């Protein structure tokens, strides 16, 4: 009965368009008032103590680093570099935009931040090159989802905390799947562009252009090397890496690229603070929600229910993926990771999945939620940038959704893609 009240009130508040953080908190409060095992005092303590975590400090710093680099001219330089490699081919601008999103994903750790930073420059550039605006927006909106797959990734930090697994190992596990999905999106962009007649730039590849582009983008390219190299080299933890990324981003944007002024910092810190606060409130209420789940032994009940349907690992994993796809349509990624990791993680372990592999599969599947309505945050960001209506954008995104879904299934059932470097 406790589970019915907890989830029933949560989805009722969601249906009333109550913000997800408030809906989680109110659902926990109603359940605490009903239950004899949970007190309001305990619930409030869980909300506060859940955010008192050293690893969680990585989130606001990664968000701040992404804001600084996004407004510091990095997107244009990365696009120019990607364009040297693929710009001359059919659909070259679209493929270059996807590569730019992959580069930026290795900096921001956020899907919407990647769309915002890359879309404002790439969508007008693609339209000027003759691309349909709906297709151009769909490219950026979908490729922006890589922001939480290619490390550093904020949801991976949350999964690591929720499952007590190594965040560094999760970052390593996300590298190949992120690149694989990027390549799949580029393949589709190429064939669609060929069908629609979107030509390349016509500029031949030359080492002179390549060296010039690398020289302009060199400081930007060093960011993922510093972050990931520092973590895997044992120089610092993921949280310390996030702080280093902020300091480096400030130096590059203010003194090397010189496209950011000191007067811009106030707005950047304000935006990063608002984004961080929103996420941390969700983390606090979602953790309190998760505490109730654990106390009522709901994860064990769900695991038994899954295994009652089938003990075949293939079938159970497919059921988990379908459930996560549905969850991604309605629940914010950060909240979904915190709420459903304690529920689904034991199921994955019981069917013999590697914990890191499951974490990557969960993040990849939830990343699809960025492009599925009604929540689809990337859709709203992309629509706001380009002016394309939501119905038209959703229709344009459907082929990319299919590509991402197929890629997610391959990642799920070919664990070597995730575990090769572990």
**What integer pLDDT is reported at residue 192 of this predicted model?**
95
Q: Residue range 11-26: average pLDDT?
A: 86
| CA–CA gap between residue 193 and residue 135 (Å, rounded) | 10
- Rounded CA-CA distance 369/158 in Å is 17
So what's the pLDDT on residue 20? 82
User: Is the predicted pLDDT of residue 53 greater than 80, yes or no?
Assistant: no
Judged against a pLDDT cut of 80, whether residue 299 lies above it is answered with no
Helix (H) or strand (E) holding 202: none
* pLDDT reading at 67 higher than 90: no
pLDDT at 292 over 70: yes
Q: Give residue for tokens 């038994």.
A: 304
Percentage of the chain beyond pLDDT 70 is 100
Please provide the DSSP assignment of 149-214 as one string.
TSSS-HHHHHHHHHHT--HHHHHHHHHHHHHHHHHHHHHHHHHHHHHHT-----PPP-HHHHHHHH
8-state DSSP, 331: S
Distances (CA, A) of 283 to 16, 157, 253, 390: 21, 12, 30, 28
Which run of H or E residues covers position 263? none
Question: Could you report the per-residue pLDDT of 367-399, keeping only the tens digit for each?
Answer: 999 999 888 899 999 999 899 999 999 999 999
The pLDDT, as a whole number, for residue 52 is: 75
User: Do 123 and 385 form a contact (C-beta atoms < 8 A)?
Assistant: yes
Tokens of 314: 């293939």
Q: Is the pLDDT of residue 68 over 90?
A: no
Which tokens go with 49?
A: 């103590």
Length of the chain: 422
Give the mean pLDDT of 37-49.
77
The mean pLDDT value for 331-336 works out to 87
Q: Where are the domains of the chain?
A: 2-419
Q: Is the pTM of this model over 0.85?
A: yes
Most confident of 176-185, 242-251, 324-333: 176-185
Contact present, 98 and 182 (Cβ < 8 Å): yes
Give per-residue pLDDT as tens, 338-369.
889 988 998 999 999 999 999 999 999 999 99
Q: Tell me, what DSSP letter sits at residue 254?
A: I
| Average pLDDT for 237-261 | 88
Res 289 pLDDT > 70: yes
Indicate the pLDDT class of residue 173, thresholds 50, 70 and 90: very high
- CB contact at 8 A, 392 and 351: no
Strands (E) across 48-135 are located at none
pLDDT-derived band at 307 (thresholds 50, 70, 90) equals confident
Of the pLDDT bands very low, low, confident and very high (cuts 50, 70, 90), residue 286 is confident
φ and ψ of 346, to 5 deg: -60, -35
Tell the residue number behind the tokens 């962009």, with chain if given: 189
Return d(Cα 251, Cα 256) in angstroms, integer.
7
Q: What are phi and psi of 364, to 5 degrees?
A: -60, -45
Q: Please spell the DSSP secondary structure of 208-250, one letter per residue.
A: HHHHHHHHHHHHHHHHHHHHHHHHHTTSS-HHHHHHHHHHHHH
- pLDDT surpassing 70 at residue 202: no
Give the pLDDT of residue 219: 86
Of 248, 265, 288, 233, the residue nearest 74 (C-alpha) = 248
Predicted pLDDT of residue 178? 96
Query: What is the distance between the alpha carbons of residues 41 and 46, in angstroms, rounded to a whole number?
Result: 9
Res 138: pLDDT: 97
CB crowding 78-98: b at 16 or more within 10 Å, else e: bbbbbbbbbbebbbbbbbbbb
Instruction: Enter the DSSP assignment of 50.
Output: T
> Cα(76)–Cα(58) distance, rounded to whole angstroms?
26
Chain centroid to Cα 72, Å, comes to 21
> Cis (ω within 30 of 0) for the bond into 152?
yes
The residue-averaged pLDDT of 125-132 equals 90
What 8-state DSSP symbol labels residue 375? T
């Amino acid at each position: 009965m406790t589970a019915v009240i907890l989830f029933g009130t949560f989805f009722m508040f969601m249906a009333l368009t109550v913000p997800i953080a408030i809906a989680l908190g109110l659902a926990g409060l109603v359940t605490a008032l009903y239950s004899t095992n949970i007190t309001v005092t305990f619930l409030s303590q869980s909300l506060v103590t859940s955010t008192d975590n050293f690893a969680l400090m990585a989130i606001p710093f990664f968000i701040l680093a992404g804001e600084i680099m996004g407004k510091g001219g990095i997107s244009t330089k990365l696009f120019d570099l990607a364009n040297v490699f693929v710009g001359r081919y059919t659909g070259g601008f679209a493929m270059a935009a996807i590569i730019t999103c992959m580069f930026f994903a290795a900096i921001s750790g956020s899907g919407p931040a990647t769309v915002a930073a890359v879309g404002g420059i790439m969508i007008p550039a693609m339209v000027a090159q003759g691309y349909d605006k709906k297709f151009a927006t769909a490219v950026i909106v979908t490729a922006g989802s890589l922001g939480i797959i290619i490390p550093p990734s904020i949801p991976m930090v949350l999964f690591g905390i929720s499952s007590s697994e190594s965040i560094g190992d999760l970052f390593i596990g996300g590298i190949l799947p992120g690149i694989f999905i990027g390549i799949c999106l580029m393949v589709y962009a190429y064939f669609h562009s060929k069908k629609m007649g979107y030509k390349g730039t016509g500029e031949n590849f030359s080492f002179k252009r390549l060296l010039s582009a690398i020289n302009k983008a060199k400081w930007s390219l060093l960011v993922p090397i510093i972050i990931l190299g520092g973590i895997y080299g044992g120089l610092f933890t993921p949280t310390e890496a996030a702080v280093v990324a902020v300091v480096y981003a400030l130096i590059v944007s203010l003194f090397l690229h010189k496209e950011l002024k000191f007067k811009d910092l106030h707005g950047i810190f304000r935006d990063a603070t608002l984004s961080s606060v929103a996420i941390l409130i969700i983390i606090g209420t979602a953790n309190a929600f998760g505490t109730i789940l654990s106390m009522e032994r709901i994860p064990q009940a769900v695991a038994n229910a899954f295994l009652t349907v089938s003990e075949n690992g293939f079938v159970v994993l497919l059921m988990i993926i379908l459930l996560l796809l549905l969850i991604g349509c309605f629940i914010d990624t950060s909240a979904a990771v915190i709420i459903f990791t304690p529920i689904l993680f034991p199921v994955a372990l019981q069917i013999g999945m590697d914990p890191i592999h499951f974490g990557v599969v969960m993040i990849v599947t939830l990343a699809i939620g960025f492009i599925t309505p009604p929540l689809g945050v990337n859709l709203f960001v992309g629509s706001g940038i380009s002016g394309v209506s939501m119905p038209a954008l959703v229709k344009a995104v459907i082929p990319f959704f299919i590509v991402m879904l197929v890629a997610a299934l391959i990642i799920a059932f070919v664990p070597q893609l995730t575990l090769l470097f572990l």
